[in-house]
Amino acid sequence: MTEKSSLEYAQQLDREDDLKQYRDEFYIQPETIYFDGNSLGLLSKRAEESLLSMLESWKQFGIDGWLKGDNPWFYFSEKLGEKCAPLIGADQKEVIVTGSTTVNLHQILSTFFKPEGKRTKILADELNFPTDIYAIKSQLRVHGLDPEEHLIQVKSRDGQTLDENDIIDAMTDEVAIIVLAGVLYRSGQILDMERLTKAAHERGILIAFDLCHSIGSVPHSLSDWDVDFAFWCTYKHLNGGPGSVAGMYVNKKHFGTSPGLAGWFSSDKNKQFDMEHELSAAPDAGVMQMGTPHLLSAAPLLGSLSMFEEAGIEKIREKSLKMTDYMMTLIDAELNGFGFTMANPRDEEKRGGHIFLEHEEAARICKALKENNVIPDFRTPNGIRLAPVALYNTFEEVWQVVKILKKIMQNEEYKKFENKRDVVA
């Protein structure tokens, strides 16, 4: 432990890092340690370049940019979908980059939630990100169903994680569709998506996963697992930028289903400009699109995703696990006795891409970290998320963050701040 606690050990890990060259691809503020990439990833030079390239195509081609240039706008959402497909283990035609997380969940439920007979309920959990629950409740109301009766939320035994057995036990013959997170946004627990999908299908239930906190940090095999649907944002681990266009996966066995929320980009590409009032639906996941794609919000993804193609999600996951394991080791050694509770899973198979610490002074501690040029993420009421991201963070930064946390606690630096969150936590 003495060796691992040394700066020299962290620097040695950085010298051995196969992904260290990617750090120079990102804009990192001097003297700042950015550990909030699971909330908003940093800007890369490639993302900047692809955005500027999109602007140049608009400047050069005007409306002809829809079909001219290196990346014609008309097919851009499909191109990005193809690049996302390896990250989730899907066929290219099963993925489309479109909408936002919430819009895409609404589309999935509008299309595939068809309450009839006894099957009138949606199964989720009490730890899910609020936007998913808001969307589910509103969809139930659209069908004239009371969310108090028709939304089932699986309880957590410890307030941080879910037991897959409890989820499976809740898969009754009244459930029509299930919506769960691939990685829980607070604790970072990875759910066993393969097991849950198998259990759902054995009971005749459709299942969808929110991959916002797993895509780009955790490998998936959605097609092999036979998952029905998935949706995600692209501004966290994928580094697509604030408000970047989201993504959606639809298992090919569901191709041919008319979208619940249709628009002109739901059309077969060859028929879209026929301007007929009867939709000729796209034969693949593209059918889940609605309006014109937000090209300037999608463009940075082209550059960002090129790094994932080169590095490979398996190597990214390998380094991510090594970094979070190293951080847990240092926390155990350096922060014992300061009132922290590690609320993320320690098991590698269950741990996503961030560490989650709980402390009664969490909001104040996060403000003290920022004063020390460390960017964390506060989660109400008492959580601190710390995400060492494989593509741009270093092991030395992990070492430094734990040392800074120890200094803050030893000197009680957090006491100069109020213990409440800012408007944006």
Tell me which DSSP letter residue 97 carries: E
Q: Quick one: which of 210, 240, 387, 223 has its CA closest to 305?
A: 240
CA 117 to chain centre: 34
Distance between CA atoms of residues 135 and 140, nearest Å: 9
Residue 407 tokens, joined: 């200094």
Distance between CA atoms of residues 132 and 151, nearest Å: 12
**In a 10 Å sphere around its CB, with 0-12 CB exposed, 13-18 middle and 19+ buried, how is residue 51 labelled?**
buried
CA 189 to chain centre: 13
Q: Give me the residue label for tokens 């620097």.
A: 11
Q: Quick one: which of 266, 270, 260 has its CA closest to 284?
A: 266
Is 130 a known ligand-binding residue? yes
Is 264 a known ligand-binding residue? yes
Is 22 a known ligand-binding residue? no
**Is-contact 334 395, C-beta < 8 A?**
no
Residue 366 tokens, joined: 């996060």
Distance between CA atoms of residues 125 and 63, nearest Å: 46
CB atoms inside a 10 Å sphere around CB 83:
18
Residue 103 backbone phi and psi in degrees, to 5 = -60, -40
Q: Quick one: which of 289, 295, 385 has its CA closest to 342?
A: 385
For the chain, percent helix, then strand, then coil, each to nearest 5? 45, 15, 40
In terms of phi and psi (left: phi > 0; alpha: psi -120 to 50; beta: otherwise), the region of 93 is alpha
Is 235 a known ligand-binding residue? yes
Is 143 a known ligand-binding residue? no
Distance between CA atoms of residues 297 and 71, nearest Å: 14
Residues in the chain: 425
Is 340 a known ligand-binding residue? no
**Is-contact 188 328, C-beta < 8 A?**
no
With residue 395 as reference, give the H or E element that holds it.
helix 395-410
Annotated binding site for pyridoxal 5'-phosphate: 101-102, 129-132, 210, 213, 235, 264, 292
Annotated binding site: 101-102, 129-132, 210, 213, 235, 264, 292
